[in-house]
Amino acid sequence: MSWYGYPVVRRSIQFSRTELRHILLAMVVLTIAFTLAFSRVLSSGELSLADRLISNLLLASIAVPTGFLLHELGHKVVAQRYGCLAEFRSYPRGLFLALITALLGFLFAAPGAVVISGYVDKRQNGRISIAGPLVNLGIGAGFFALWFILRGTGVDPVIVGSMSLLRLTWGVAFINLLLGAFNMMPFPPLDGSKVLRWDLRAYGLLLAAIIGLLVSLYFL
């Protein structure tokens, strides 16, 4: 069996050269877009443009691979474990939109998605769909715990520019949890709509955990 000229082995994780190019394109564009958006929204106006860009480039360089790439790979891994063909494909128009909105001071991105081909039942489709938000929850919870511990110690070294370790861990946690919450909205084609059709309890528990951590980030 092959897809786009590359062999596919059942139940093993495979990447084609085409997919890797699409991943690299999406990662580069999203990192630039997030850096621009963060520099407009998250930084003090007293800081220089260069300082804002350097500081937020570091944040974007961690937030994009964890919040976006690992989310999509979560879908891919589970889909391929079920014997499906699954490869990431970028959306050029969505990436262009991300750059334009970032320049305007906010960010709306539709960078692409894992394209899945093969038969899955409702339960399998639900598990494939929940894998991405679960990755966001796990990463968000991990950085939340690190932020909470650092805040308790009172140690907050500056890493580069105006980016401190405390701010970095908070930002990565927030972005992962926000992306997870967005993808759990119960509207097609978002993950939440497919998870909800599969298991209401799983949907409610995951969404409650993500929202709970998001609220804690604001009020702790």
> Residues 22-60, buried b or exposed e (16+ Cβ, 10 A)?
bbeebbebbbbbbbbbbbbeebeeeeeeebbbbbbbbbb
User: What is the dihedral sign for C-alpha 61, 67, 68, 74?
Assistant: positive
By CB atoms closer than 10 A (0-12, 13-18, 19+), residue 202 is middle
Amino acid at 195: V
Which residues are identified as catalytic?
Answer: 72
Q: Which of 148, 130, 129 is nearest to 140 (CA)?
A: 148
